[in-house]
Amino acid sequence: MAAKTPKKPSLLSGGNPQIAKGYGDEPVQAYIDAMPGWKSDVWRRLDKLIARTIPDVQKAVKYNSPLYGMEKDRWFLSAHCFEKYIKVAFFRGAKLDPVPPGPSKSADTRYLDIHEDDVVDEKQFASWVKQASRLPGEKL
């Protein structure tokens, strides 16, 4: 009997992978593998940067988005795929220095939108990750 080829996760409207809820690195890597096009390579690099910056970071996929935190169900960062960009949410981003550029309807949250041709300032991104990891996480 031939082994079945794993089914590729479907993409929701806007291109976000539909990944089952789960805790740990495995569901996050499944999400990254399912990200369409250039987004997978970009987020794989940033996922590794997050793990290097915060070696004890907790990971999960909830609401079809990878989440990063310091304790279970307390998150400081998430990512979400849209058709033309990746939206990174810093849940306490208004307290970061400098504040990430994307505004939010939430007083605390700030966003970083990453488009295909953008060059991510990895030093700044790592600084935001380190600062965000020290703030109270968002319960999701």
Which residue ranges make up each domain of the chain? 22-139
Q: How far is CA 86 from CA 6, 36, 43, 52, 56, in A?
A: 25, 11, 8, 21, 24
- Tell me the residue ranges of DSSP E strands in the chain: 22-23, 58-62, 65-71, 74-81, 85-90, 110-115, 138-139
Residue listed under structure tokens 């990430």: 100
Give the count of beta carbons closer than 10 Å to the beta carbon of residue 73: 14
Long-range contacts formed by 62-71: CB under 8 A, 24+ apart: 62/21, 62/140, 63/140, 64/12, 64/16, 64/17, 64/18, 64/19, 64/31, 65/16, 65/31, 66/27, 66/28, 66/31, 66/32, 67/140, 68/129, 69/137, 70/133, 70/137, 71/137
Residue 111 pLDDT exceeds 90: yes
Tell me which of 3-12, 15-24, 29-38, 114-123 is least confident.
Answer: 3-12
pLDDT (0 to 100) of residue 68: 98
Residue 87 pLDDT exceeds 90: yes
CATH number, domain 22-139, options 3.90.1150.200, 3.40.50.720, 3.40.50.300, 3.40.630.10: 3.90.1150.200
Residue 117 pLDDT exceeds 80: yes
For 21-77, write each residue's pLDDT tens digit.
Answer: 999 999 999 999 999 999 999 999 999 999 999 999 999 999 999 999 998 889 999
Higher pLDDT, 13 or 78: 78
